[in-house]
Structure 1
Amino acid sequence: MTFTLATWNINSVRLREGLVTQLMASESPDVLCLQECKSPVELIPVEQFRALGYNYMVARGQKGYNGVAIISKLPLEDVGGRDFVLMGHARHVAARLPNGVVIHNCYVPAGGDIPDRVQNLKFGQKLDFLTEMRDWFHGEKPSKSILVGDLNIAPREDDVWNHKALLKIVSHTPIEVEHFGAVMEAGNWVDVTRADIPEGKLFSWWSYRSPDWDAADKGRRLDHIWATPDIVRSAHASRILRPVRGWEQPSDHAPVFATFDL
């Protein structure tokens, strides 16, 4: 079974329903994982997606905030969603494909603007969220699994436009990168995108604040696809669809793709 998976922080699935259907029609991923849906599950516009062959969805939602959805042409079995740090946020959902592969869709908190947990409650919540992810995967020992999502951390020097300039900026601070690495290690996760594209600058997010995001290219790779070692060698064709960031009224994120032969 070969399937293509995409992950995309859509920044409101209802506001950008047209962009989701445009991506479905033009790229036709078998599974599309969305973050920051900002919608209760019952208000996600599934009828438009079903018209394009996406007949299955597993999601967790809340009004106007957070929200994660796995939308698929392939049958899905809902295998749960964790409320990390008990914040009451819809930030994780998991589903099983017919071939037994479990997909985790995660939306890690952004962490606010100040990289100090004493001065900034949100930054502390982000670190605690990652710590709980680490502990869960350490106990869970996932296998035949894929983890995707907006993890809100750019871990490598070439995952940001300027490593030195961003060392004190939330999403690239050493303590966040350390926590990110601990989550990966706990689940034996492998970074699929970087396994496929090991060298060079690679971004999936460009700020709305930049008047010309494309020319300035001050991006960060915040969106990730991971796999467990038992299936990672089946992954290929990784790419970030940068042109989507330039679509009309876009999300500030671009979708990330990978194909698996399983």
Structure 2
Amino acid sequence: MKLTVSTWNINSVRLRIEQVGRFLAEHRPDVLCLQETKCPNDVFPLKALQSFGYPFVVHMGQKGYNGVAILSRYPFSTTSVMEMCGRADARHITVTLTEAKGASGITIHNFYVPAGGDIPNPDLNEKFKHKLQFMDELRAWGGRSKPTGAPAILVGDLNVAPLENDVWSHKQLLDVVSHTPVETSALEALRGEAGWIDAMRHLRPEPEKIYSWWSYRSPDWAAANKGRRLDHIWLSGDLAGSLRAMDVTRETRGWERPSDHVPVTVTLEL
């Protein structure tokens, strides 16, 4: 069977519920993982999302910021969340698929890593300190829990562009949060030590440029094309051979009142 999994930082699921519906209608992934839903659980638009053909939905949110959700065409047997850095700030949720033919038993982890603010110095910027601590805990979790010991997919807005060609200018962004050496080395360490495969770069290696985010600050984002690859899909080693396709749905950045992130999708042949 084919399994398609998408990840998208939606930057408010209620504000952009029509865009979610449009993307699902046009692309029909089996699973959509959302970040930055900015929505407390009691007003989460569950019925609206289910009406798009995704009856199985799990979410963890809070008012005004953060928040993660997973929409699926297949049921899942277990759901869980982790509190990172001692904070219940809705940055992780996990499901394990069932009744999905060859996909049954695959665990999907959905993460939203802190952005880190503007100053890349943990002594001067508490947000950047939190981001580095979060990645340290992710690294420890990967070594302790062995998430890649069984079929697994990790997705999300990880808020780091790790490679030189994941940003529009490597040299100009070395001192900019999301591409500083301390962040990129931390992300690659936690990915490599746990045995995750970077699905996007597995199919489209450097030096090809890949972006999934374009700043709202740019007056003409498409013409300037000063993007960064902040959104990621990683696979456990046993799934790497089933990877068939990867798509960055760039056109959503041009929709009315868009998120500054666009969906990323992988297709597996199981």
> What TM-score do you get using the length of structure 2 for normalisation?
0.95
Q: Is the aligned partner of 1:151 residue 2:158?
A: yes
Of 217, 228, 236, the residue aligned with 1:220 is: 228
Q: Is the aligned partner of 1:108 residue 2:113?
A: yes
Deviation at 1:87, TM superposition (A): 2.0
User: Secondary structure of 2:13's match?
Assistant: coil
Structure 1's consecutive aligned runs of 4 or more residues displaced over 6 angstroms after TM superposition are none
Gaps of 5+ in 1: none
User: Quick one: distance in 1 between partners of 2:31 and 2:203?
Assistant: 19
Matches within 5 A, 1:17-56: 17-56=17-56
Contact 1:80 1:94 in 2 (8 A): yes
Partner of 2:140: 135
Deviation at 1:88, TM superposition (A): 2.0
Partner of 1:176: 183
The root-mean-square deviation of aligned C-alpha atoms, in Å, is 0.9
Give the number of aligned pairs. 262
Contact 2:35 2:68 in 1 (8 A): yes
> What TM-score do you get using the length of structure 1 for normalisation?
0.98
Deviation at 1:236, TM superposition (A): 1.9
User: Quick one: distance in 2 between partners of 1:35 and 1:235?
Assistant: 23
| Comparing 211-220 and 34-43, the one that deviates more | 34-43
Partner of 1:186: 193
Contact 2:12 2:39 in 1 (8 A): yes
Aligned-residue sequence identity (percent) comes to 52
| Comparing 180-189 and 250-259, the one that deviates more | 180-189
User: Quick one: distance in 2 between partners of 1:46 and 1:2?
Assistant: 26
Deviation at 1:140, TM superposition (A): 1.0
User: Quick one: distance in 1 between partners of 2:159 and 2:256?
Assistant: 23
User: Quick one: distance in 2 between partners of 1:13 and 1:110?
Assistant: 18
Contact 1:135 1:186 in 2 (8 A): no
Give the residue type in structure 1 aligned to 2:112: Y
Contact 1:202 1:221 in 2 (8 A): yes
Gaps of 5+ in 2: 99-103
